[in-house]
Amino acid sequence: MPLTGGGGGVLQVMKTYHMYNADSISAQSKLKEAEKQEEKQIGKSVKQEDRQTPRSPDSTSNVRIEEKHVRRSSVKKIEKMKEKRQAKYTENKLKAIKARNEYLLALEATNASVFKYYIHDLSDLIDCCDLGYHASLNRALRTFLSAELNLEQSKHEGLDAIENAVENLDATSDKQRLMEMYNNVFCPPMKFEFQPHMGDMASQLCAQQPVQSELVQRCQQLQSRLSTLKIENEEVKKTMEATLQTIQDIVTVEDFDVSDCFQYSNSMESVKSTVSETFMSKPSIAKRRANQQETEQFYFTVRGSTPFKDWL
């Protein structure tokens, strides 16, 4: 039975566990019934031997032999039935233990996946969507400030307020404030709890002899897979960090100073003409935007190919 992640997978594993556990309980009831029949038959045989009355030697001997033969045949049938039911109960009990182990493993894996999503992945997704926004906004507003501060009739009070807002831009604190504001969205839900079935209160992995070797093999396989995934994840992480640094270098270029546009005249027409001829018409602007878009696309591709995404 494969390890399955997600709520639907846990539900399926739980149903399988309940089914096998019900079969185990049913087989146990049948075994107890067979044991009672065996005890009843043995007691009946003892009573019949005690109540036998003496007869003629020949007739008494024949009757006793015949009655013993019938009792032995009946006892053997009950013993065979008991053996079959004992074997069936052992088989069903082993299946129930394995199914319960799979259920507990699925619960653990699902809870870990949900925890990782709400604690780590959501924050990373916000970072991906927010990448470059604060830096671009910083550059745009600083460009606006540089132009306005060079005007003779600048509104100093308003510009000071905007400059103060720009200085306080902080992507990390804004993300934290957003997550705190919508705590019901970003807070991980309650863990999936083990649901015992029909009095089965064992809520931990069972390592009895029939399944111990299987669990050891499973543990070894998982450790080997985790080692491989860790190596792959480290490589992806290095590539991602290098790409992220490249993007940050692109979006944090300090090109907001436009004081050169005001060296001839302070009129708005002169500003527009100078900006269109110099600042906005630089070939490097279009090339830098193209490089930024290509780098961002590569970053999202690497971000989405993390080795742990298909772990469950």
CB 243 within 8 A of CB 143: no
Domain ranges of the chain: 10-46+68-131, 230-252+280-311
Residue 297 confidence (pLDDT): 78
Q: Which candidate, 102, 282, 283, 268, places its Cα nearest to that of 194?
A: 102
What are 305's two structure tokens? 């190919």
What are 35's two structure tokens? 């044991």
Residue 102, burial from CB neighbour count under 10 angstroms (0-12, 13-18, 19+): buried
Show the 3-state SS of 87-148: HHHHHHHHHHHHHHHHHHHHHHHHHHHHHHHHHHHHHHHHHHHHCCHHHHHHHHHHHHHHHH
Instruction: Tell me the pLDDT tens digit for each residue of 6-21.
Output: 567 889 999 999 999 9
Residue 145 confidence (pLDDT): 83
> What do you get for the CA distance between the two ends of the chain, in Å?
14
- R_g of the chain computed on alpha carbons: 39
Amino acid letter, residue 83? E
pTM (whole model) above 0.85: no
Residue 210 confidence (pLDDT): 73
Ranges in the chain, pLDDT < 70: 1-7, 44-71, 152-154, 262-285, 299, 303-312
Residue 58 confidence (pLDDT): 53
Residue 231 confidence (pLDDT): 87
Residue 98 confidence (pLDDT): 92
Judged by phi (left if over 0) then psi (alpha if -120 to 50, else beta), residue 199 lies in left
Question: How far is it between the farthest Cα atoms of the chain?
Answer: 146
Helices (H), the chain: 6-51, 57-116, 122-130, 133-149, 156-167, 171-181, 183-186, 209-251, 268-274, 283-304
Residue 308, burial from CB neighbour count under 10 angstroms (0-12, 13-18, 19+): middle
Distances in Å between the Cα of 143 and the Cα atoms of 11, 140, 248, 261 are 57, 5, 18, 12
Residue 115 confidence (pLDDT): 93
CB 3 within 8 A of CB 105: yes
